[in-house]
């Protein structure tokens, strides 16, 4: 594990302390969790963009053409 010094505005630090206390965790745990959540979010977005870039319009249109052309069931109509 490594140590990191982070400078925060007093208001942000105070709010983090309050939220950490509310969750019965340390400020360090709160910040580590927040950083991990952000990391997961960015990596997920990167993955989804990468997968989307592999898509082919022709494949989409092929599978769309396989869907039956029927009206939606009662109660499921567009608003």
pLDDT, residue 62, reads 97
Average pLDDT rounded to a whole number, residues 38-47 = 98
Are 17 and 28 spatial neighbours (Cβ–Cβ below 8 Å)? no
Give the mean pLDDT of the chain. Answer: 95
pTM: 0.68
Alpha-carbon span 67 to 56, nearest angstrom: 18
How confident is residue 28, by pLDDT bands cut at 50, 70 and 90? very high
Average pLDDT rounded to a whole number, residues 3-22 = 97
| pLDDT, greater one: 72 or 26 | 26
Structure tokens at 20: 């950490």
Alpha-carbon span 3 to 69, nearest angstrom: 59
Alpha-carbon span 40 to 67, nearest angstrom: 34
């Amino acid at each position: 594990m490594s140590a990191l010094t982070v400078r925060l505005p007093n208001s942000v630090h105070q709010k983090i302390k309050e939220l950490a206390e509310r969750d019965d965790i340390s400020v360090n745990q709160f910040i580590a969790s927040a950083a991990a959540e952000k990391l997961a979010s960015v990596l997920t977005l990167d993955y989804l963009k990468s997968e989307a870039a592999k898509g082919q319009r022709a494949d989409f249109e092929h599978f769309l053409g396989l869907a039956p052309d029927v009206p939606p069931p009662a109660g499921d109509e567009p608003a």
